[in-house]
Structure 1
Amino acid sequence: MVKLSKVKMGILEFLWRINRPASLREISDGVGVKIRCVNMHIINLRRNNYVTKTGEGLYALTDLGKEALGFPRVNKESAERILSRVPYALAFHFYSELDKPLMIFSDSLHDFCEKIRSLDLKSIEFHMFRGDFEAWIKSLGDVELARRLAIIRESNLSGEELRDEIYRAVKSRCDELQNIISSL
């Protein structure tokens, strides 16, 4: 893999963070570099298959681009492993605070996604700010989603806004992994 410049890595990181196609202007604003400069870097990133053009003036990160950011490639087997159920002992057990279990657990990423929608906000905030969600998701083998949750944690959101961001990130990842399983 080619060593990329700081600006190119910044472009890849920006596209990964927003998790959707973006225009040159949006990328330029996001990384703080002039559009002309971004355009030259995008040409090179496209040539090396790190970025793809998805529509009129929109660019998205490819799997190779994710690998350049340090994420492992996800194939059908790893997607199935990440989405599969785990034994009770390895499930995520929710607490409202230390030594106060809610007697609620999630044994899969899909189950976790559904439980987040109705779980007590106190529990979500307790686990989020301790990094518990990231650690459990990393134990499932999903380094990328764990990093997304770390970014959400670092944004210091709280309440329903925090719940919504976690739900969106987990739901989007579940859908992405399911698509990998279905398409291969």
Structure 2
Amino acid sequence: MGELRKTKIDLLEILWRAGKPINVRDIAKKANLKMRSVNMHLINMRRSGHVSSVGSGLYIITDLGKKALGFPEIDVEKARKILSPVPQEKAFKFYKGINEPLEVSSSSLKDFLEKIKEVDVKSIEFHASRGDFELWIHFLGDVELAKRLRIIRELNLSGEELRDEIYSALKSRYEYLEKTSAGTASTN
């Protein structure tokens, strides 16, 4: 398989950012391309296995498409490693601000997901603005989720809207990793 051209990489990036099935019209709008051109690229990428059609005019990125974007493949072992607890000294420690610890920490992705629902929103704003969440998730080994959290950070959200976006990204990824670690995830 040869390298994908920039346009196809851009289309894969749009599909990945969407995080859900997206129609040709929306893809074309986001890519600033004509629908006919996008349709031809999608047909070719479907044939090559980079995207999958999941309904009338809806497309999602496949694992092969994610690999083309530079994300490492997540197999059973990798998923289990990401989900495994880390020692307490490497746990994520929540702060409300500089020198303002909350005495709350998370040592696994599952625990982190639960803490995001409960922790003071000021702590979420503090850590998100500094990129702390994505750094810790990257440390756990999940490059893709770390990038998704970076994108959320760049949206400059605040308050409960920020919490909801982060929680949604974490929950979706956690569920995928759980299925993968059990050997039951679909490979798109």
Category of TM-score, reference length = shorter chain: over 0.9
Deviation at 1:164, TM superposition (A): 0.3
Match of 2:139 in 1: 139
Q: Deviations over 1:52-101 (max 9, x none)?
A: 11112211100000000010000000001101111101100001111111
Partners of 1:161 and 1:21 in 2: how far apart?
22
Match of 2:10 in 1: 10
Q: Deviations over 1:36-58 (max 9, x none)?
A: 00011011111111001111221
Match of 1:110 in 2: 110
Match of 1:175 in 2: 175
Partners of 1:60 and 1:154 in 2: how far apart?
23
Match of 1:148 in 2: 148
Q: Please give the secondary structure, in 1, of the residue aligned with 2:4.
A: coil
Percent identical pairs in the alignment equals 55
Q: TM-score, length-normalised on structure 2?
A: 0.95
Match of 1:89 in 2: 89
Q: Please give the secondary structure, in 2, of the residue aligned with 1:137.
A: helix
Partners of 2:124 and 2:80 in 1: how far apart?
26
- Residue type of the alignment partner of 1:128: A
* Residue 120 of structure 1 pairs with residue 128 of structure 2: no
- Residue type of the alignment partner of 2:87: P
Runs of 4+ aligned residues of structure 1 deviating over 3 Å after TM superposition are: none
Partners of 1:60 and 1:156 in 2: how far apart?
26
Q: Deviations over 1:15-38 (max 9, x none)?
A: 100111111112111211111000
* Residue 78 of structure 1 pairs with residue 73 of structure 2: no
Partners of 1:174 and 1:32 in 2: how far apart?
33
Partners of 1:17 and 1:87 in 2: how far apart?
32
TM-align CA RMSD: 1.0
Match of 1:65 in 2: 65
* Residue 166 of structure 1 pairs with residue 169 of structure 2: no
Q: Deviations over 1:139-167 (max 9, x none)?
A: 00000000000000011000000000000
Q: Size of the alignment, in residue pairs? A: 184
Partners of 1:160 and 1:147 in 2: how far apart?
21
Deviation at 1:2, TM superposition (A): 2.1
Contiguous gaps of at least 5 residues in structure 1: none
Partners of 2:78 and 2:147 in 1: how far apart?
17
* Residue 98 of structure 1 pairs with residue 66 of structure 2: no
Partners of 2:98 and 2:2 in 1: how far apart?
46
Partners of 1:2 and 1:130 in 2: how far apart?
38
Partners of 1:135 and 1:24 in 2: how far apart?
34
Q: Please give the secondary structure, in 1, of the residue aligned with 2:182.
A: helix
